[in-house]
C-alpha cells in the first residue's frame, strides 16, 4: 500500500516537473520570438496602409520590416508628420518633418467612356481593387481602393482620376 | 405666421396628380431633385421605387421631432398641415393603395388633426422622447415591428418620409416648384431660410456654430450653407467642458443601451485601436447623452470622430490583408511565367 502511494506521488511529481519545464521553455521561446514580430505589427499598424510604395519599398508591411531593421522613419508621404511623430514616439527615434506629403483621403476613379480595357492597371493595383478583364471596361471598387496612385502612370489613355473619398455619416 | 419669400415663377407646369400617371408623378419628383429632409438626405425617388419593388403597404409621415430645441417640423405641421397631408397623398398615389399614417409627438397637433379629421389618413401620437423620431424606432413603436439593420424599411413594407419632405413633394407636384427654401430652427426661432444661404450671412456668428441642434449638430463654420437636410442652426454647448465624473447618466439615457461612459474612456485614453468598435458604430447620434452630461462633454463629437477612426482602422486592416495576398499571388504568377518560359525553351525544336 505504502509503496503504491509513493510510486503514484513520484509519478505525478515527475509529470508535473516535465510539464512545467516544457511550459517554461515554450514561454521563453515565444518571448524570444514575440518582440520583433509584434514590433513589426505595431509599426505596420501606424503606417497608413495605402500601399503606395512611395517609400521605396513595395508596400507598408515591407517598409515596416525595413524600419525595424534600421531604415529612416520619414519616408511615408501619405502618413505625413503624424505618422512620423507616432513612429518616433514608438521607436524612440528623433523626429524630422517628412520631405513630401500626399493626400491620404482619396480614391481613384476610372472614366469608363475613355477606358479601352487594356488591363494594364489590374496587376499594378496593390490591393486588387480594379474589376475588369482585357477588352472589357474596368472599374474601381471604392470600398477597397486606397488611393495609392499606382494605377495612374500605367494607364495608356490617362482615364484614371483621383477623387476625394465620399464620407458617410 | 411665418414669413416666407413669395415666388414669382414656377419651375414646372403644375401637375394634377389625381389624374396623372404614377410615372409622371415620379418623373416630376425626380426632376425636382428631392431628397429626404429629415437629415439623411436619401433620394425620394429611390425610396419610392424600392417601395414599389417590395410592395410597401404603409407610408408614414414622420412628424415626431425629438431633437431637443428643434421645432421646425412642429411649426411646419402647425402652419402647413394641409400641404403636408397632400404630399402624403401624392406619395401614396405612387404605391398601390398604401395605409397613410401621420405620426406626431405634439399633443396639440394631434388634437388639431383629430378635430378636423382627414379621410384615409390616420394620426398616431408618439411619446416625445429622444430618438423616437428615428425611423426604425418609430416603426417599432407604431407596429411593434423590427427592421433588421441590413435592410431598409422600404424593403420591409414601410416607407417613412419626414413631413418637410412631403411638403416639398406637394410643392413640386401640385405647384410645380423646386425646393428653394426650408423651415429651419434658427437660434431657437422657426424661420424660412433660402437654401445655400451661408451661415456667416445669417448673423449671430460665432466660433461655436452648429448645423443642427445644440446637442446633435455638426460643428460648422461661417462658410457652411443651409441645405435641404438642415433642420436647425444653433450655437454649440454654451458651457466649459469639465472632467468626466463617471456618473453614468449617459449610459442610463442611451436608447440603444450603449456603454457611453466606457466608450468615452477608450476615446480619451491613448489606447488604440478602439475595441468597442461595434458599440461605436451602433450609435445613431440622437444626442440624448449630450443633453444629460453634467460636465458638458461634447460626447457626440467624440463619438463621431471615433466612428471615423474605427472605419479607418478597419479599412487599414483590409488593405494590409489584401496587399499581402496580392504580393503572394503576384510572386506565384511570376514563378509560373518563368517555368512556362523555361519549359518552352527546353522543348523547342533543335535546328
Range scoring the smallest mean pLDDT among A26-40, A123-137, B6-20, B27-41: A26-40
User: Is the pLDDT assigned to residue A168 strictly greater than 60?
Assistant: no
Nearest-Cα distance to chain A for B302, in Å, is 14
- CB–CB contact B326 A49 (8 Å): no
Q: Which domain holds residue A143?
A: 106-164
**Residues of chain A contacting B322 with CB distance shorter than 8 Å:** 126-129, 144
pLDDT over 70 for what percent of chain A? 92
* Bridge-based pairing state of the strands B209-211 and B189-194: unpaired
Residue A50 forms contact with B (CB below 8 Å): yes
- Asked if A144 and B330 come within 8 Å (Cβ–Cβ), the reply is no
| CB atoms closer than 10 angstroms to residue B138 | 24
Give the residue from A42, A61, A91 where a domain finishes.
A91
Judge: A49–B320 Cβ closer than 8 Å, yes or no: yes
Mean pLDDT for B198-215 is 76
- Distance to chain B for A97, nearest Cα, Å: 23
Quote the CA–CA distance of B113 and A30 in Å, as a whole number: 72
- What is the rounded distance in angstroms from the CA atom of residue A74 to the CA atom of residue A95? 8
Nearest C-alpha of chain A: how many angstroms from B284? 10
Percent with pLDDT over 90 in chain A:
40
Of B273, B317, B318, the CB nearest to A144: B318
Question: Cβ of B271 under 8 Å from any chain A Cβ?
Answer: no
- Whether residue B218 lies within 8 A of chain A, CB to CB, comes out as no
Residue A112 and residue A87 in one domain: no
Residues from chain B contacting residue A52 (CB–CB below 8 Å): none
Tell me: pLDDT of B1 over 60.
no
A86 and A24, same domain (yes or no): yes
Contact: B323, A50; criterion CB under 8 Å: no
Q: Are residues A117 and A152 in the same domain?
A: yes
Residue A14 and residue A87 share a domain: yes
- Reported as a single tens digit per residue, the pLDDT across B228-281 is 888 888 887 777 889 999 999 999 988 888 999 999 988 888 766 678 888 888
Q: Is A30's pLDDT higher than 70?
A: no
Question: Is residue B326 less than 8 Å (CB to CB) from chain A?
Answer: yes
Cell of A130: 480594379
Kindly state the cell numbers that stand for B314. 478597419
Indicate which CATH number applies to the domain containing A41.
Answer: 1.10.15.40
> What three-state secondary structure class fits B290?
helix
Overall average pLDDT of the A52-67 stretch: 92
Total beta-carbon pairs less than 8 A apart between chain A and chain B: 45
Q: Is the CB of residue A169 less than 8 Å away from at least one CB of chain B?
A: yes
The DSSP output letter for B198 is B
A104 touches chain B (CB under 8 A): no
Q: What are phi and psi of A90, to 5 degrees?
A: -65, -45
Q: What is the DSSP letter of B25?
A: H
Residues of A in contact with B331 (CB under 8 A): none
Q: Are residues A42 and A70 in the same domain?
A: yes
CA angle (B37 as vertex; B34, B43 as ends), nearest 5: 40
Q: Count the neighbouring beta carbons within 10 Å of the beta carbon of residue B280.
A: 22
Q: How many domains does chain A have?
A: 2
Whether A116 and A84 map to the same domain: the answer is: no
**Does residue A73 share a domain with residue A38?**
yes
If asked whether residues A87 and A6 sit together in one domain, one would say yes
Angle in degrees, 0-180, between the axes of helices B163-170 and B72-93, rounded to the nearest 10: 60
In chain B, what percentage of residues exceed pLDDT 90?
38
Helix and strand numbers (H, E) in chain A are 5, 4
Lowest mean pLDDT across A6-10, B90-94, B347-351: B347-351
B317 reaches A (C-beta below 8 A) = yes
**For testing the chain A interface, which of B283, B303, B322 should be mutated: the one with the most A CBs within 10 Å?**
B322
Q: Are A81 and A32 members of one domain?
A: yes
Establish if A60 touches chain B: CB-CB under 8 angstroms: yes
Q: Identify from A42, A89, A90, A127 which residue to disrupt to test chain B contact, counting B C-beta atoms within 10 A and taking the largest count.
A: A127
Residues A112 and A142 both lie in one domain:
yes
Lowest mean pLDDT among A17-26, A120-129, B76-85, B106-115: A17-26
What confidence score (pLDDT) does residue A98 get? 65
Q: Per-residue confidence at B213, pLDDT binned at 50, 70, 90?
A: confident
Rounded Cα distance between A74 and A62, Å, is 15
Residue B128, pLDDT > 70, answer yes
**Residue B138 near residue B60, CB atoms below 8 Å:** yes
Please report, in angstroms and rounded to a whole number, the separation of the first and last CA atoms in chain A. Answer: 76
The runs of H, that is alpha helices, within chain B are 22-31, 44-53, 72-93, 107-116, 135-143, 163-170, 199-202, 249-253, 260-268, 277-282, 288-292, 299-347
State in Å, rounded, how far the first CA of chain B is from the last one: 100
Q: What is the rounded distance in angstroms from the CA atom of residue A95 to the CA atom of residue A46?
A: 15
On whether residue A140 sits in a domain, the answer given is yes
Count Cα neighbours of B184 within 13 Å in the Cβ-side half-sphere: 29
Please state, in angstroms and rounded to a whole number, the distance separating the CA atoms of residues B115 and B108: 10
Mutation choice for A interface testing from B300, B318, B323 by most A CBs within 10 A: B323
Closest residue of B to A44, CA-based?
B320
Average pLDDT of the segment spanning B155-174: 93
Q: What is the pLDDT of residue A14?
A: 86
Q: Which residues of A touch B326 (CB under 8 A)?
A: 125-128
CA distance linking residue B291 with residue B215, whole number of Å: 6
Q: Which residues contact A31 (CB under 8 A, 6 or more apart)?
A: none
User: Is 90 exceeded by the pLDDT of residue B200?
Assistant: no
* Res B186: pLDDT: 86
Q: Are residues A66 and A10 in the same domain?
A: yes
Whether residue A158 sits in one domain with residue A84: no
Mean pLDDT of A6-14: 87
Using CA atoms, how far apart are residues B322 and A144, in angstroms rounded to an integer? 9
Grid look-up 496587376 returns A123
pTM of the model: 0.73
Sign of CA dihedral A39, A43, A46, A52: negative
The residue among A91, A121, A149 that closes a domain is A91
Sketch the domain layout of chain B as residue ranges: 17-179, 183-235, 242-351
DSSP assignment letter at B18: G
ipTM of the complex: 0.76
DSSP B122-187: EEEE----TTTTSHHHHHHHHH--PPPTTS-GGGTTEEEEEHHHHHHHHIIIII-----EEEEEET
Q: Per-residue pLDDT tens for B277-322? A: 888 888 888 888 988 899 989 899 899 988 888 888 889 999 999 9
Which tops the pLDDT comparison, B214 or A11?
A: A11
Q: Per-residue pLDDT averaged across A87-114, rounded?
A: 84
| Residue A83 touches chain B, beta carbons under 8 Å | no
Instruction: Give the separation between CA B184 and CA B233, rounded to whole angstroms.
Output: 7
Residue A169 has what pLDDT?
A: 39
Report CA B152 to chain centroid distance, whole Å.
13
Which member of B307, B316, B322 has the closest CB to residue A144? B322
Q: What is the mean pLDDT of residues A123-140?
A: 92
Residue where a domain stops, chosen among A91, A124, A152? A91
Q: What is the CATH number of domain B17-179?
A: 3.40.50.11540
pLDDT at B11 over 90: no
How far is B159 from B29, CA to CA, in rounded Å? 16
User: What band does A28 get if pLDDT is binned at 50, 70 and 90?
Assistant: confident
Domain assignment present for residue A169? The answer is no
Amino acid at each position: 500500500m505504502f509503496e503504491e502511494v509513493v510510486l503514484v506521488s513520484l509519478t505525478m511529481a515527475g509529470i508535473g516537473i516535465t510539464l512545467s519545464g516544457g511550459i517554461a521553455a515554450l514561454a521563453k521561446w515565444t518571448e524570444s520570438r514575440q518582440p520583433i514580430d509584434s514590433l513589426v505589427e505595431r509599426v505596420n499598424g501606424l503606417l497608413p496602409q495605402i500601399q503606395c510604395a512611395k517609400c521605396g519599398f513595395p508596400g507598408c508591411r515591407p517598409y515596416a520590416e525595413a524600419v525595424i531593421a534600421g531604415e529612416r522613419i520619414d519616408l511615408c508621404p501619405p502618413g505625413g508628420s503624424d505618422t512620423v511623430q507616432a513612429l518616433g514616439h514608438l521607436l524612440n527615434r528623433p523626429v524630422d518633418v517628412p520631405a513630401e506629403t500626399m493626400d491620404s483621403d482619396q480614391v481613384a476613379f476610372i472614366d469608363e467612356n475613355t477606358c479601352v480595357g487594356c488591363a494594364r492597371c489590374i496587376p499594378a493595383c496593390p490591393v486588387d481593387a480594379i474589376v475588369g478583364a482585357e477588352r472589357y471596361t474596368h472599374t474601381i471598387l471604392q470600398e477597397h481602393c486606397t488611393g495609392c496612385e499606382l494605377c495612374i502612370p500605367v494607364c495608356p489613355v490617362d482615364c484614371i482620376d483621383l477623387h476625394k473619398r465620399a464620407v458617410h455619416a | 405666421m411665418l414669413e416666407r419669400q413669395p415666388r414669382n415663377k414656377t419651375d414646372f407646369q403644375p401637375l394634377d396628380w389625381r389624374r396623372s400617371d404614377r410615372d409622371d408623378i415620379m418623373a416630376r419628383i425626380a426632376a425636382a431633385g428631392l431628397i429626404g429632409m429629415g437629415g439623411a438626405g436619401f433620394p425620394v425617388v429611390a425610396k419610392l421605387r424600392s417601395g414599389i419593388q417590395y410592395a410597401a403597404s404603409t407610408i408614414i409621415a414622420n412628424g415626431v421631432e425629438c431633437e431637443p430645441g428643434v421645432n421646425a417640423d412642429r411649426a411646419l405641421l402647425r402652419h402647413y398641415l394641409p400641404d403636408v397631408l397632400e404630399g402624403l397623398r401624392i406619395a401614396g398615389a405612387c404605391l398601390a393603395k398604401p395605409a397613410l399614417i401621420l405620426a406626431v409627438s405634439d399633443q396639440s397637433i394631434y388634437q388639431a388633426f383629430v378635430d378636423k379629421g382627414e379621410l384615409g389618413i390616420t394620426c398616431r401620437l408618439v411619446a416625445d422622447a429622444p430618438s423616437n423620431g428615428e425611423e426604425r424606432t418609430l416603426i417599432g413603436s407604431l407596429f411593434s415591428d423590427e427592421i433588421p439593420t441590413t435592410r431598409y424599411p422600404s424593403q420591409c413594407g414601410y416607407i417613412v418620409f419626414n413631413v418637410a419632405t412631403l411638403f416639398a413633394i406637394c410643392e413640386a407636384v401640385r405647384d410645380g416648384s423646386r425646393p428653394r427654401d426650408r423651415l429651419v430652427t434658427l437660434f431657437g426661432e422657426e424661420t424660412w431660410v433660402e437654401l445655400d444661404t451661408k451661415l456667416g450671412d445669417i448673423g449671430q456668428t460665432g466660433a461655436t456654430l452648429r448645423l443642427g441642434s445644440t446637442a446633435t449638430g455638426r460643428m460648422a463654420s461661417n462658410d457652411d450653407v443651409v441645405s435641404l437636410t438642415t433642420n436647425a442652426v444653433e450655437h454649440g454647448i454654451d458651457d466649459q467642458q469639465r472632467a468626466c465624473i463617471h456618473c453614468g447618466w449617459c449610459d442610463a439615457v442611451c436608447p440603444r443601451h450603449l456603454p457611453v461612459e466606457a466608450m468615452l474612456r477608450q476615446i480619451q485614453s491613448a489606447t488604440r485601436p478602439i475595441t468597442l468598435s461595434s458599440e461605436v458604430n451602433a450609435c445613431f447620434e440622437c444626442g440624448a447623452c449630450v443633453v444629460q452630461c453634467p460636465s458638458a462633454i461634447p460626447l457626440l463629437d467624440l463619438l463621431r470622430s471615433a466612428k471615423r477612426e474605427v472605419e479607418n482602422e478597419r479599412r487599414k486592416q483590409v488593405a494590409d490583408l489584401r496587399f499581402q495576398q496580392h504580393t503572394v499571388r503576384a510572386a506565384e504568377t511570376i514563378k509560373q511565367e518563368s517555368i512556362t518560359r523555361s519549359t518552352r525553351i527546353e522543348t523547342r525544336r533543335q535546328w
